Amino acid sequence: SRWWHRRQAFLQKEQRYDDLDREEEKEELAEAAKKAAQEVEAAAAAVANAAAAMEVDAAAAAAAAAAAATPATPSASQDKDVEMKEAAASESISSASASALNIPSDPQELWNWPVQWSVMEANDGQILKEKIMPFASQIVVELLGVPEADLTKYVVDHIRQRKPPQDLVAELRG
């Protein structure tokens, strides 16, 4: 019957559109996963650089505490020592800030960026807990729209195990 043939043509056309939509959705999901992995790696590098800056801040705080602990009538040599320590801390902070601005945006360059693991693991992994975990969680929420604790934990564990970023991207695309 004529109705049947028209209906079949309509259904085939609808099926083609559905297939195209599915392909487009797969591509979007793959691109979102790629972007998430790149952002996580960028965050890891940024956090490593921030950790170096935090070490410098800690050194400056220690110098300030030492200066505060000195007697109320410091000698001229003590004043010079404090001034030199503060100047060195200031220079270190500015150099850390400058190096943070030099973080590459290209994925390959970023993946080759050296991670300061000693800083990352200092204070019982405090940077992983306080900086990387919230950042990874934020990125997951931005990409998926909902918090996904398991995915966040997976990314942080991957970083904690010092696995290369390419492996994380490959596993997330998996």
In a domain, 8, yes or no: no
In a domain, 63, yes or no: yes
pLDDT in tens, the chain (174 residues): 899 999 999 999 999 999 999 999 999 999 988 888 888 887 777 776 665 555 555 555 555 544 444 444 455 556 666 666 666 655 555 554 555 556 667 777 777 878 878 877 777 778 888 888 898 899 889 888 898 899 999 988 988 898 888 888 888 887
In a domain, 42, yes or no: yes
The predicted pLDDT at position 150 comes to 92
How many structural domains are present in the chain?
A: 1
What CA–CA distance (Å, rounded) separates 68 from 151? Answer: 46
Domain region containing 115:
32-173
- Across 80-110, b (16+ Cβ under 10 Å) vs e yields ebbeebeeebeebbeebeeeeeeeeeebeeb
In a domain, 88, yes or no: yes
